Amino acid sequence: MDNIFKPRPSQVDESQVKVEGDTLSKEAAAAASPNSIVDGSEAKGGTESIPSNASIPSEEGKEVFNEELMPNFSFPNELPDFLKSLLFFTANPEQRDALLLSILTMASSCLPGVYASYNGKKVNSNLFLLVTAAASCGKGIIEYSRMLLDPLTDCYQKEYEEELIQFQARMLDFKDQKQKGCLNKGDKPEVPQLHLHIIPANSSSAAFYDALRSNKGVGIIYETEADTMTNSLRSSEGPYSDVYRKAFHHEPILFYRKTLATPLIIKHPEISILLSGTPGQIPALIPSIENGLFSRFLYYKMDGDPLHWSNVFSIGSAMEEAFKSKSLELHSLTQTLRELPGVKIELPESLHDRFNEVFARFQEDYHCRYGEGIVASVRRMGLSIFRIMMIFTVLRHIDDLLGTNPESGRETILQITKEDCENALHMAGVLLEHTAGVYMILGQSELAIVRMENPKGLYEKLYESLPFEFITKDAVQKGDSLRVSRSSVERSLRAWTNQGKLIRLAQGRYQKPNTTKTEP
């Protein structure tokens, strides 16, 4: 019989938290407590609609994106204790949200053997996250999350050093035997490889694939400057965008080099990505909304206040010590999971309709507001949110998992609770608004490209030449007459729709917002 665990109640006392000598007062706890993002009085049923501060109506009643009103998380239920203890020290809502997402992304990379079924396929917990903010506006908070992987990194380093000592001893013996002529073919020892769970974003293709091969297809790409990955994607020596697109869905990765006797195949890659950068770095990393990378990322856009000076002495060493303590707990969990036959996460059938209804509503709403270009993001958001549910569930059962006997030979089954499901669905509503914010950034970028490709007012002439109501084919024909390429026409239609200069009636059908029909 499988091991089936039930969730335990929250056990964190938030009135006072003590971490190796550093104690926060009750007043400070009230300011920094995760309860400021958790309404624990009742479970309110999750995300029934888009957050009210996500958009504002224009004079015509049309929803218009407002960068100044980006929503924050306000969970309907308590988070797992593991997360609450780390979010406790951060009072700023934006920084707390970014920290939570980065913790989840780091954790997503080190839960071996944890899997679930989604849309008929086996999926693991890996997340792709991009946190964006202007310079010095608080995104550096995510660097704390990297500390969670320090014990794993240290463990790999220690293993490598031990293997290196053994290798050197075997090499001395090999050379001695070689001089005596006592060697058989294949006796030369192999050089040990250092496991890199955190893979640098600027790795060459050879180094990237070597790291994946050494780690059996598991790892995380972490970079605090998004343009580091941009340079890698543009370089012929770096990993390619298609590798990351395939990895998101655990699709096989094939790599061949002349130096390899046989092609390298990673059948089931489990790669997470955590990036941060300024809004200006995004168009270079993801040049188009149609680029497959765009819809695979979770986005969190921090507005921040560039003139606000934070109290740099308010936390002391307590936050760092808390992360060090939890990193050891996470490392113990990782080591335990490696020994278990497997941990299967299930969403109870009673919650299937809830999940499907919420995302069907999101898809309809965002398609109406932003057009078909954002639909892929909504659909892949469903997978990412389900993965967050998986991570919530594992973190809620850490004690149970650490106490599981790996010699039982039985797979462990954990069920996602209604509370974790609703918390994750709430996150979807907020994250989709942040995705829309990045979508607008890329839309403006595409508009700039159109203007560069079409000088001398051709961009304006194209718009003016279009009838009151038209289909994409009509616009392409008008573009041909003005010597505007099809791709530029299609980018123009997306940009105009985002700006409100066009209304998308259906797929491939548009209308100008003018009240009076005017033919060119």
Reported as a single tens digit per residue, the pLDDT across 124-141 is 999 999 999 887 777 889
Residue at token pair 């089954």: 413
The yes-or-no verdict on residue 3 having pLDDT over 80 is no
User: CA 312 to CA 322: how far, in whole Å?
Assistant: 17
> b/e map of 136-153 (b: 16 or more CB within 10 Å)?
ebbbebbebbbbbbbbbb
User: CA 490 to CA 450: how far, in whole Å?
Assistant: 10
Give the HSE-up count for residue 299: Cα atoms under 13 Å, Cβ half-sphere: 29
| pLDDT recorded at residue 307 | 65
Strand order of the β-sheet with 503-506 is 469-471, 509-511, 503-506
CB distance 440 to 447 below 8 Å: no
Between residues 443 and 399, the one the model is more confident about:
399
| Residue 514: CB atoms within 10 Å | 8
Closest CA to 47 of 385, 514, 473, 305: 385
- What is the average pLDDT score of the chain? 81
Q: Which residues pair with 237 in a beta bridge?
A: none
CB distance 250 to 124 below 8 Å: yes
Lowest mean pLDDT among 40-44, 57-61, 513-517: 57-61
| pLDDT recorded at residue 457 | 67
| pLDDT recorded at residue 467 | 92
| pLDDT recorded at residue 306 | 64
| Residue 390: CB atoms within 10 Å | 28
Between residues 393 and 446, the one the model is more confident about:
393
User: CA 476 to CA 487: how far, in whole Å?
Assistant: 9
With cut-offs at 50, 70 and 90, classify the pLDDT of residue 50. Answer: very low
With cut-offs at 50, 70 and 90, classify the pLDDT of residue 281. Answer: confident
Instruction: Please write the tens of the pLDDT for every residue from 418-439.
Output: 999 999 999 999 999 999 888 8
| pLDDT recorded at residue 470 | 93
The yes-or-no verdict on residue 89 having pLDDT over 50 is yes
Q: Is 280 helix (H, G, I), strand (E, B) or coil?
A: helix
Instruction: Please write the tens of the pLDDT for every residue from 368-383.
Output: 888 888 899 999 999 9
With 0-12 CB in 10 A as exposed, 13-18 as middle and 19+ as buried, what is 391?
buried
The contacts found for 440-444 with CB under 8 angstroms, 24 or more apart, are 440/65, 440/498, 441/279, 441/282, 441/283, 442/282, 442/283, 442/286, 442/288, 442/289, 442/294, 443/289, 443/494, 443/495, 443/498, 443/499, 444/495, 444/498
The yes-or-no verdict on residue 93 having pLDDT over 80 is yes
| pLDDT recorded at residue 262 | 67
| pLDDT recorded at residue 238 | 63
Closest CA to 271 of 205, 232, 221: 221
The yes-or-no verdict on residue 361 having pLDDT over 80 is yes
β-pair type (198-199, 218-223):
parallel
Instruction: Please write the tens of the pLDDT for every residue from 192-231.
Output: 888 889 998 888 777 888 888 888 899 999 998 887 887 7
Q: What is the CA radius of gyration of the chain?
A: 26
Between residues 445 and 200, the one the model is more confident about:
200
With 0-12 CB in 10 A as exposed, 13-18 as middle and 19+ as buried, what is 135?
exposed
User: CA 289 to CA 377: how far, in whole Å?
Assistant: 10
User: CA 490 to CA 503: how far, in whole Å?
Assistant: 14
Lowest mean pLDDT among 8-12, 13-17, 245-249, 438-442: 13-17
With cut-offs at 50, 70 and 90, classify the pLDDT of residue 5. Answer: low
User: CA 466 to CA 237: how far, in whole Å?
Assistant: 44
The yes-or-no verdict on residue 47 having pLDDT over 50 is no
| pLDDT recorded at residue 27 | 37
The yes-or-no verdict on residue 485 having pLDDT over 80 is no
Query: Mean pLDDT across the stretch 312-334?
Result: 89
User: Between the CA atoms of 35, 37, 38 and 44, what dihedral angle is there, to the nearest 10 degrees?
Assistant: 150
Query: Mean pLDDT across the stretch 34-60?
Result: 38
Closest CA to 274 of 199, 213, 385, 383: 199
Percent of the chain whose pLDDT exceeds 70: 78
| pLDDT recorded at residue 37 | 47
Lowest mean pLDDT among 23-27, 201-205, 438-442, 469-473: 23-27
Query: Mean pLDDT across the stretch 85-102?
Result: 92
> b/e map of 312-342 (b: 16 or more CB within 10 Å)?
eeebeebbbebbbebbebbbebbebbeebbe
User: CA 442 to CA 48: how far, in whole Å?
Assistant: 28
| pLDDT recorded at residue 142 | 93
With cut-offs at 50, 70 and 90, classify the pLDDT of residue 144. Answer: very high
- The one-character DSSP state at 38 is B
User: CA 518 to CA 188: how far, in whole Å?
Assistant: 81
| pLDDT recorded at residue 488 | 78
User: CA 214 to CA 192: how far, in whole Å?
Assistant: 10
Query: Mean pLDDT across the stretch 448-456?
Result: 52
Percent of the chain whose pLDDT exceeds 90: 44
Instruction: Please write the tens of the pLDDT for every residue from 151-162.
Output: 999 999 999 899
The yes-or-no verdict on residue 18 having pLDDT over 70 is no
Q: Which two tokens stand for residue 466?
A: 């279009």
| pLDDT recorded at residue 357 | 96
| pLDDT recorded at residue 289 | 80
| pLDDT recorded at residue 4 | 61
With cut-offs at 50, 70 and 90, classify the pLDDT of residue 46. Answer: very low
CA distance readout (Å), 461 to 207, 315, 457 = 49, 58, 6
Between residues 358 and 3, the one the model is more confident about:
358
Closest CA to 245 of 286, 279, 282, 215: 286
Q: Which two tokens stand for residue 75?
A: 């969970």
Q: What is the 3-state secondary structure (H, E, C) of 95-150?
A: HHHHHHHHHHHHHHCCCCCEEEEECCEEECCCCEEEEEECCCCCHHHHHHHHHHHH
